[in-house]
């Protein structure tokens, strides 16, 4: 017997599941367009080489990889960013920078399935490539917030933690850690809390760090504010000034209230180089809603010309959970529209004409495919959640009017046929 369930961690979307998904996708699309992002798309299957990096990232261990019949090493993309970099590199000379692009992409990761984490999810990606100004970070974050506002959430429903890898780099340099080890140290430090500090010490000692230095790094991650940072670093570094400027911009955009400096935000992907951020629900009960940051080396690392970039990925799973938890958010429970039914086969032609007239006027109409008794028709209408119904009996066939019943108020109105 074949199981009727989808493979573990994968989802089916029945029509009722699409209602929530469409709320999310529609909000993503309109926010991205509202903020001037152009849509792109790509194939789900990527070459494994492009996706694999060597920094000990979790994501590279989670890749669904396979060989095709010609022995090519391929994979289902776990994220969109390497593909975006490949697409930009392929046309780098012809594109007008800065690029502002968005996509809604299905991604696959062989993860341990927990609340908020599946083996397949959709991700809104917003990326700006070729713009060094911090305005790029802020525009991207503001766009993500805008999409949540369109969904019906408020700014105080979320909290966005941010930090800076450049700043953490300055702190690591100050502790005597070689710059070439920083990227790997970030990936390791991101595992803090997920693995024991002892296990983490072992990983970090492989970069030649002594227990004392590791303790110093751990202490650095206890920093609570930018004031604390100023006290640790010998001078006001560029990275610190950059963060202060970032906060000023957040204020201009009036989103500084939902944003919070948190040095322990590092992010698990190796390619980030600057400001990094991660959004959570305000109660911090769910997994991350979205995350991103600046990545300056990805294009050159895959063979493109160097280009600075910043972007984020915003998954559909956690935001769906959050929307479901909020009582005051209105998620449609049906597709709505108008049902057209008829009592006998003799009225079918008339019903077809009425349905098509209403459709031509822009109404969404479901036409009954066979004659039904009134009771059955109206009970079906209730189950499927139509807003209005037209039921045609023998007396209606010669009429120039259409009787439309509002299924909530039970009131009837008449329009010209
Ligand atoms: P990420 O943090 O790995 O970043 O994923 C971004 C978001 O995708 C997460 O915050 C979460 O909403 C969602 N997500 C990730 N994995 C899963 C999963 N297994 N199940 C459900 N949702 C998930 C990236 O992927 C970067 N490529 C984002 C980016 C774009 N950075 C720059 N541009």
- If one residue of 21, 42, 46, 123 were mutated to test the ligand 1 pocket, choosing by the most ligand atoms within 8 A of its CB, it would be 123
Tokens at residue 133, please? 């100004």
| Mean pLDDT, residues 78-91 | 97
The rounded Å distance from CA 222 to ligand 1 centre is 25
The rounded Å distance from CA 268 to ligand 1 centre is 10
Cβ of 296 closer than 6 Å to ligand 1, yes or no, is no
The rounded Å distance from CA 291 to ligand 1 centre is 6
The pLDDT confidence band at residue 207, using thresholds 50, 70 and 90, is confident
CA 356 vs CA 205, 278, 374: distances in Å: 72, 49, 21
Closest by Cα among 262, 296, 283 to 136: 296
Domains of the chain in sequence order: 15-325 (3.30.930.10), 338-416 (3.40.50.800)
> Range with the lowest mean pLDDT among 2-6, 14-18, 125-129, 193-197?
193-197
For atom 20 of ligand 1, the residue with the nearest CA is: 117
Mean pLDDT, all residues of the chain = 94
Tokens at residue 155, please? 């700014």
Cβ of 78 closer than 6 Å to ligand 1, yes or no, is no
The pLDDT confidence band at residue 203, using thresholds 50, 70 and 90, is confident
The pLDDT confidence band at residue 205, using thresholds 50, 70 and 90, is confident
pLDDT for residue 217: 83
List pLDDT tens digits, range 385-407: 999 999 999 999 999 999 999 99
| Mean pLDDT, residues 254-258 | 96
CB atoms within 10 A of CB 119: 21
> Range with the lowest mean pLDDT among 5-19, 41-55, 221-235, 271-285?
221-235
For atom 26 of ligand 1, the residue with the nearest CA is: 313
Cβ of 190 closer than 6 Å to ligand 1, yes or no, is no
Cβ of 315 closer than 6 Å to ligand 1, yes or no, is yes
- If one residue of 37, 79, 82, 136 were mutated to test the ligand 1 pocket, choosing by the most ligand atoms within 8 A of its CB, it would be 79
List pLDDT tens digits, range 115-165: 999 999 999 999 999 999 999 999 999 999 999 999 999 999 999 999 999
């Amino acid at each position: 017997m074949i199981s009727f369930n989808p493979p573990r961690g994968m989802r089916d979307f029945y029509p009722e599941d699409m209602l929530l998904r469409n709320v999310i996708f529609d909000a993503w699309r309109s926010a991205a367009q509202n903020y001037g992002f152009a849509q792109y798309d790509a194939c789900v299957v990527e070459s494994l080489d492009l996706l694999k990096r060597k920094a000990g990232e979790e994501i590279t261990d989670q890749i669904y990889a396979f060989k095709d019949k010609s022995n090519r090493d391929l994979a289902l993309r776990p994220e969109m960013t390497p593909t975006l970099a490949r697409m930009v590199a392929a046309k780098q000379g012809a594109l007008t920078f800065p690029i502002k692009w968005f996509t809604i992409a299905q991604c696959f990761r062989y993860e341990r399935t927990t609340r908020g984490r599946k083996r397949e999810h959709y991700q809104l990606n917003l990326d700006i490539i070729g713009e060094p100004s911090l305005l790029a970070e802020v525009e991207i974050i503001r766009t993500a917030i805008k999409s949540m506002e369109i969904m019906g959430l408020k700014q105080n429903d979320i909290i966005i933690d941010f930090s800076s890898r450049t700043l953490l780099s300055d702190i690591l340099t100050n502790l005597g850690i070689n710059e070439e080890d920083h990227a790997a140290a970030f990936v390791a430090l991101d595992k803090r809390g997920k693995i024991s500090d002892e296990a983490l010490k072992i990983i970090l000692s492989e970069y030649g760090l002594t227990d004392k230095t590791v303790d110093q790094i751990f202490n650095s991650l206890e920093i609570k504010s930018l004031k604390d940072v100023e006290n640790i670093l010998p001078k006001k570094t560029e990275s610190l000034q950059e963060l202060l400027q970032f906060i000023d911009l957040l204020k201009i955009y009036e989103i500084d209230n939902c944003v919070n400096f948190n040095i322990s935000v590092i992010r698990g992907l190796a390619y980030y180089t600057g400001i990094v951020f991660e959004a959570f629900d305000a109660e911090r009960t769910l997994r991350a809603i979205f995350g991103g940051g600046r990545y300056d080396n990805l294009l050159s690392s895959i063979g493109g010309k160097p280009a600075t970039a910043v972007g984020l990925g915003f998954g559909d799973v956690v935001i769906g959970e959050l929307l479901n938890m909020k009582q005051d958010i209105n998620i449609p429970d049906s597709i709505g529209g108008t049902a057209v039914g008829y009592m006998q086969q003799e009225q079918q032609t008339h019903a077809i004409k009425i349905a098509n007239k209403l459709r031509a006027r822009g109404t969404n109409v479901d036409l009954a495919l066979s004659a039904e008794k009134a009771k059955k028709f109206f009970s079906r209408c209730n189950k499927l959640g139509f807003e209005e119904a037209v039921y045609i009996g023998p007396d209606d066939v010669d009429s120039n009017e259409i009787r439309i019943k509002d299924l909530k108020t039970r009131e009837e109105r008449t329009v010209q046929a």
